[in-house]
Amino acid sequence: MPETVLVTGGAGFIGSHTCAELLAHGYEVVVVDNHVNSSPLVLDRIAKTAGRPLAGAYRADVRDRRALTEVFAAHRVDAVIHFAAHKAVGESVARPVEYYDTNVGGTCTLLSVMRDHRVDRLVFSSSCSVHGDARTVPLTEHSPVAPTNPYAHTKLTCERILEDVCAHLAQMRVLALRYFNPVGAHPSGLLGEDPRGVPGNLMPYVAQVAVGRRERLSVFGDDYPTPDGTGVRDYVHVMDVAEGHRVAVEHLDDRTGMRVFNLGTGTGTSVLDLVAAFAEASGRPIPHQVVDRRPGDVAALVADASAVAAAWGWTTTRDLAAMCRDAWRFQQLHPDGYTR
């Protein structure tokens, strides 16, 4: 019998790619998504990438215990991947209570319904932002945590809740994956990143400049203590992130309890490196101009990706050129995103 994985937030950017990866590897996949920040059109596209359908797709909020209970009653769920959450740092500063309610409250409701149905295997979507302003990179799973905004606080709070739950419920198996900067798109061009409004993140903004939807990129500061002065990040291909989740599901039974792993490449890329790589991949110039630093930004965040490699014998394989090429393909095919 194939395993059934319930994916909350399965229509979102990372969620949709992970569902495609799971389907392609023979899993039965059930999606729960309230579509506040994702298009329902994505669901058919996920199925198309794998040539087989989802086992179920429900429009439901993870805080809705009754709706979740119905989903768990309708499927024999073997494991859960929990993506559903708000994720915009700036918005979290303006609406902290909403962030705690959805991200922390939703996780608690999900855990409680999982418990009711004796489901004890969970992969949790966390973030490298739990480290805040890193003093030294690369960051290991044991580097100090010091969230600097409500979004990052909600992720760290969830990690602590999960740790405590695992300490007291002996059968629980939880893997929290801390993503660095997921970018790129599915190689089919069917799935990609479709931010609403003006993109806040670098890669989607650059892609929209390349396609002519925005005039020029603002580079937020070139006076950081980095080789070219612009911010350095660990961009990781969303298909590697998706694969990482599939491999995580395979390793849930390695042992009980809670484990945390970084999901990054270990390679630092500056804003100007990324601009150059995207220009190369797209064959288009990326007009850009240096402006002031963005408040809250840090100089460099790069993963030490060795723990996951040691534990699972798995590493990311897609480089910056592949990230740009795939993001560009999606952008060209969908100049205005999924048309909802």
Q: Which residues are catalytic?
A: 151
Return the residue nearest ligand UD1 (CB atom).
Answer: 231
Helix (H) / strand (E) element for 270: namely: strand 269-270
Beta bridge partners of 79: 5
- For the segment 92-131, give every residue that binds ligand UD1 (CB under 6 A): 127, 129
Among 2, 26, 296, 335, binds ligand UD1 (CB under 6 A): 296
Among 157, 220, 306, 312, binds ligand UD1 (CB under 6 A): 220
| Torsion sign across C-alpha atoms 33, 37, 39, 45 | negative
Binding-residue pattern over the window 166 to 185 for ligand UD1, x denoting contact by CB under 6 A: ---------------x----
Q: For the packed helices 13-24 and 42-50, what is the interaxial angle rounded to 10 degrees?
A: 30
- For the segment 230-259, give every residue that binds ligand UD1 (CB under 6 A): 231, 233
Is 269 one of the binding residues for ligand UD1 (CB under 6 A)?
A: no
Closest CA to 46 of 17, 67, 25: 17
Q: Which is nearer to ligand UD1, 99 or 205 (CB)?
A: 205
Among 99, 205, 278, 328, binds ligand UD1 (CB under 6 A): 205
- For the segment 52-91, give every residue that binds ligand UD1 (CB under 6 A): 87, 89
Q: How does strand 79-82 pair with strand 56-59?
A: unpaired
Closest CA to 122 of 271, 295, 273, 245: 245
Interacting stretch for ligand UD1, rule CB under 6 A, among 49-57, 98-106, 157-165, 215-223?
A: 215-223
Q: How many CB atoms lie within 10 A of CB 289?
A: 9
Question: Smallest distance from the beta carbon of 231 to ligand UD1, in angstroms?
Answer: 2
d(Cα 5, Cα 27) in Å, to the nearest integer?
7
Q: Which is nearer to ligand UD1, 200 or 335 (CB)?
A: 200
Q: Which is nearer to ligand UD1, 235 or 314 (CB)?
A: 235
Helices (H), the chain: 13-24, 42-50, 65-74, 89-94, 96-99, 106-116, 150-168, 202-210, 238-250, 271-282, 306-312, 320-333
Residues binding ligand UD1 (CB under 6 A) = 87, 89, 127, 129, 181, 200-202, 205, 217-220, 231, 233, 271, 294, 296-297
